[in-house]
Chains A and B, each alone.
Chain A
């Protein structure tokens, strides 16, 4: 086939496309979040303490620690979304991790405040909290449906590095899971949040990177 012939086929297909990837990604993310939440209420084989935690809905926005926790997960959500969009383009990424710097700064300040407001003997208790294991299980579980949705959407992207884009998708999915979970988790200490939420994010990022490496090639 001559190149001119291929051009004719491409021109005939001009009407396809025209999708705004950020919009589709936002919709996919919302859908994934909804599916995740719904799965928890369908009485699946969820560990009992996770199910119990999910059944309690927290709305005490009055305490600053809770506000800060919600603020941090929402900031993570916004930054991960932008990172995802950036990494789904064909340009070689320039220091992508630097995009998460604002979050790291907020987290550092929050931890510093927490450390100064409690004597060092209380730090360990604040860190371990009351249900760190539940957090480690719940966030990755809640992140699975959003991860599938995000990866599916990013297939229409053209990432310079599919593995990196997949990792960003994992981060975005974990941030979604963390946002959903934050409203149920009874531990608000920044020490707890920074430690366990980050630990819970790692497997999702790794899964995203591995899947992305295969799925997002173009």
Chain B
């Protein structure tokens, strides 16, 4: 009994310390996350239907979700005809430019419309950079897109990131047109 209470106290302390430590180590750009709910593990069951979101722009109709093909189809089908627009980056850059912002705003709308969806943001690079550094650059690109979506109010635990560097070019070409398409972030629904 006594020892159990002690253990409880210790756990509380440890949690508080680790949350504090995380917050301190975040770089300035990644700061704007409100106290996040506990991160969902990969195997977590799909979330229950969320309560109506208090959003301004998108009035959610009372019923129609069932008639929306995107709620009925499976994840593979959704990703095949993805409602999310990929965004593109400049050479050796993870900057979210105005064009990318516009696309991310639209992607945020979709995430608000389907509040149970969890997505993975894939960061990719073109072949002109070197392979190893591009793993970090892709990670930075995905993180930049995530930070922007979080700043729009999308909960951070719905936005996972992964970098593939230049492992998976979208366009196999070797010119600027191809490279521009390969410096990108994809938005992939990973649970719904």
Partners in one complex: no
